[in-house]
Amino acid sequence: MLLKFRCGKPQMEQDYKRKHGRIDFVSSADRGIKMFYFIAKRITGNNYNCTPLTPRSRLERLLRERELRKSSRYLHPTEEGNNKEGDQLLSDPSTNENDKAEQFCNEEDLSDTSRAFTEEQPFRQRLLVVANRLPVSAVREGVDSYHLEISVGGLVSALLGVKEFDTRWIGWPGVNVNDDAGQEALTKALAEMRCVPVFLDEDIVNQYYNGYCNNILWPLFHYLGLPHEDRLATTRSFQSQFDAYKKANQMFADVVNKYYEEGDIVWCHDYHLMFLPKCLKEYNSNMKVGWFLHTPFPSSELHRTLPSRSELLRAVLAADLVGFHTYDYARHFVSACTRILGLEGTPDGVEDQGKLTRVAAFPIGIDSERFIRALELPEVQDRMKEMQERFAGRKVMLGIDRLDMIKGIPQKILAFEQFLEENPHWHDKVVLLQIAVPTRTDCPEYQKLTSQVHEIVGRINGRFGTLTAVPIHHLDRSLDFHALCALYAVTALVTSLRDGMNLVSYEFVACQASKKGVLILSEVIHIL
């Protein structure tokens, strides 16, 4: 089943409003992080005095929304204030963290800019974003020099709009650097972009990232199940990969501990770092730690099949706040803790011997203004005109996905073939542009998927193509930001088999300035 939305007028808008109370296709990039910050500042130990994260009634939900609107006065300065380098939250350096939290939550009468943001006694909350990969890609150009470029990806796109926090990004730079001179040079280059590298050796990366993360957790969390191989070989490889996973998480924790300052908030991201909250809390029990999952969290029945299920759940529960994209994923997590660990699930989260780990849903968004501004750039306008001339008289369908099993690229192309079979008069009137961004190219499963997609595309183009045109244009590479904005001016087709918050959908809607295209989503994709 596919859900079809016409930009600006969702066909299922009324049903969604009745269920959720609102609909927002292009949300602000920092909505989730600001909500996380607001809640984290109110956590003064694991007591039950804070307002529950999950409203129990409609009245409680309305009160919660009013409270969040009041707090947003400090989290949403005017556009003029955002552009001033000195705009920062007020804070008295002599007060402790609890006093700052109380001041932040109670000063409700300050204006957005002149009173909440001044140059006197500036204070910007430090936020340590810890993710498997840094938001930049590093390419070594010499013994002591590196070339850095902004990476593409959902997490990077979501956090680019966060400008109101003193943010440091900690993660693996994506390259293997063994020599001290190279590590020192890369650390210095990344410091200029407020990034801190975690250096992992090649064996750890292979066992931790390619092995446990991508071969075990990724398929399981997307309902594909564990790999079916010889039982003995699977068990032995699983244990070595799990050991490397814990070792890598400890290496991340060591770097965080080195750069941590009293009062910082540490935000851990995704299934790569499920052990990190436990490692950080063992180092400093007072550290404010949050963990956010950017994929679906499976039902407890499926999660139970994971041999390390209990260790991973307890490691995540060491965090103060655990976040998910949707309420369904949060409910699955609480259910897994209840059924697998025997803990008590509450409307606020999960309780374990008096310690409460709060669990909530924080839908992530994008910096929509970044895409809207890009549409006015000459290079984007030129590319849009070039595409209009290139495909004049033909309907254009666009698919932008990572080349991954869960993205449903072969299924999408086969469905397009069936459409051409059933509608011969459309053969020379429609074209499918499929951008398949390469990922995990050294994994055999992904290499097999690449070959499969190439075979299907070649067969369909050979069957329905002509000397002057082919029905499918397939690219196995990533595109730059301006090229993507130009492509988003045409129709998008997102058909993942199982996905979390698909930010391609947000980016497409943000680029529909003049021509209102059609967004087609598979029923398993969440977009709020």
Measured distance CA(287)–CA(359) in Å, rounded? 18
Q: Supply the pLDDT for residue 35.
A: 54
57 vs 20, higher pLDDT: 57
167 vs 364, higher pLDDT: 167
Is pTM beyond 0.75 here? no
38 vs 374, higher pLDDT: 374
**pLDDT-derived band of residue 271, with 50, 70 and 90 as boundaries?**
very high
Is residue 81 scored above 90 in pLDDT? no
Q: Supply the pLDDT for residue 399.
A: 86
Q: Supply the pLDDT for residue 44.
A: 37
Average pLDDT over residues 31-42: 53
Q: Which residues of 46-67 are buried (b: 16+ CB within 10 A; e: fewer)?
A: eeeeeeebbeeeeeeeeeeeee
Q: In 3D, which of 247, 318, 248 has the Cα closest to residue 284?
A: 318
Measured distance CA(363)–CA(527) in Å, rounded? 8
- 452: region left, alpha or beta (phi > 0 left; psi from -120 to 50 alpha): alpha
Beta-bridge mates of residue 266: 128, 289
Q: Supply the pLDDT for residue 526.
A: 57
Q: Supply the pLDDT for residue 290.
A: 95
SS3 287: coil
Measured distance CA(314)–CA(333) in Å, rounded? 11
Q: Supply the pLDDT for residue 82.
A: 38
**pLDDT, tens digit, 9 for 90 and up, residues 491-523:** 666 666 666 677 788 888 888 876 677 887 777
Measured distance CA(380)–CA(376) in Å, rounded? 7
Question: For 461, which DSSP code?
Answer: H
Q: In 3D, which of 73, 65, 83, 76 has the Cα closest to residue 111?
A: 73
**Looking at 138-142, 164-168, 428-432, 454-458, which range is the least confident one?**
138-142
Question: For 206, which DSSP code?
Answer: I
The number of beta carbons lying within 10 Å of the beta carbon of residue 388 is 14
Measured distance CA(401)–CA(128) in Å, rounded? 29
The answer to whether 299 and 220 are in contact (CB under 8 A) is no
- 283: region left, alpha or beta (phi > 0 left; psi from -120 to 50 alpha): alpha
**pLDDT, tens digit, 9 for 90 and up, residues 124-163:** 788 999 999 888 887 777 767 777 877 766 566 666 656 6
Taking the CA atoms of the chain, what radius of gyration do you get in angstroms? 24
Q: Supply the pLDDT for residue 46.
A: 41
CA distances from 490 to 373, 374, 507, 513 (A): 17, 15, 12, 11
Q: Supply the pLDDT for residue 395.
A: 87
Is residue 463 scored above 70 in pLDDT? yes
Is residue 105 scored above 90 in pLDDT? no
Is residue 266 scored above 90 in pLDDT? yes
SS3 304: coil
Average pLDDT over residues 414-428: 92
Q: Supply the pLDDT for residue 17.
A: 37
Per cent of the chain over pLDDT 70 is 68
Is residue 300 scored above 50 in pLDDT? yes
Q: Supply the pLDDT for residue 83.
A: 37
SS3 149: strand
230 vs 420, higher pLDDT: 420
**pLDDT-derived band of residue 69, with 50, 70 and 90 as boundaries?**
low
Average pLDDT over residues 392-396: 86
63 vs 280, higher pLDDT: 280
Q: Supply the pLDDT for residue 199.
A: 93
Q: Tally the residues of the chain.
A: 528
**Which H helix or E strand runs over 345?**
strand 344-345
**Looking at 17-31, 215-229, 284-298, 494-508, which range is the least confident one?**
17-31
CA distances from 144 to 26, 53, 189 (A): 42, 49, 10
Question: For 309, which DSSP code?
Answer: H
Average pLDDT over residues 322-344: 93
Is residue 186 scored above 80 in pLDDT? yes
Average pLDDT over residues 10-23: 38
SS3 436: strand
CATH classification code of 368-522: 3.40.50.2000
**pLDDT-derived band of residue 79, with 50, 70 and 90 as boundaries?**
very low
Is residue 204 scored above 60 in pLDDT? yes
Our measurement of the distance from residue 348's CA atom to the centroid of its chain's CA atoms, rounded to an integer in Å, reads 23
Domain borders along the chain are 126-361, 368-522
Q: In 3D, which of 506, 504, 494, 408 has the Cα closest to residue 3?
A: 494
**pLDDT-derived band of residue 408, with 50, 70 and 90 as boundaries?**
confident
Q: Supply the pLDDT for residue 419.
A: 93
**Looking at 54-68, 104-118, 135-149, 380-394, which range is the least confident one?**
104-118
Q: Which range, 1-15, 50-64, 151-165, 201-215, is most confident?
A: 201-215
**pLDDT, tens digit, 9 for 90 and up, residues 342-375:** 999 988 899 988 889 999 998 877 878 888 888 8
Give the DSSP letter string of 79-116: HHHHT-TT-EEE--TTS-HHHHHHHHHH--S--TTTTT
Fold designation for 126-361? Rossmann fold (3.40.50)
106 vs 460, higher pLDDT: 460
Q: Supply the pLDDT for residue 403.
A: 85
**Which H helix or E strand runs over 245?**
helix 231-259
**pLDDT-derived band of residue 116, with 50, 70 and 90 as boundaries?**
very low
**pLDDT-derived band of residue 192, with 50, 70 and 90 as boundaries?**
confident
**Looking at 116-130, 273-287, 493-507, which range is the least confident one?**
116-130
Measured distance CA(25)–CA(357) in Å, rounded? 30
Average pLDDT over residues 24-44: 48
Question: For 158, which DSSP code?
Answer: H
SS3 321: strand
Per cent of the chain over pLDDT 90 is 31
| Identical fold between 126-361 and 368-522 | yes
**Encoded tokens for 232:** 């003995």
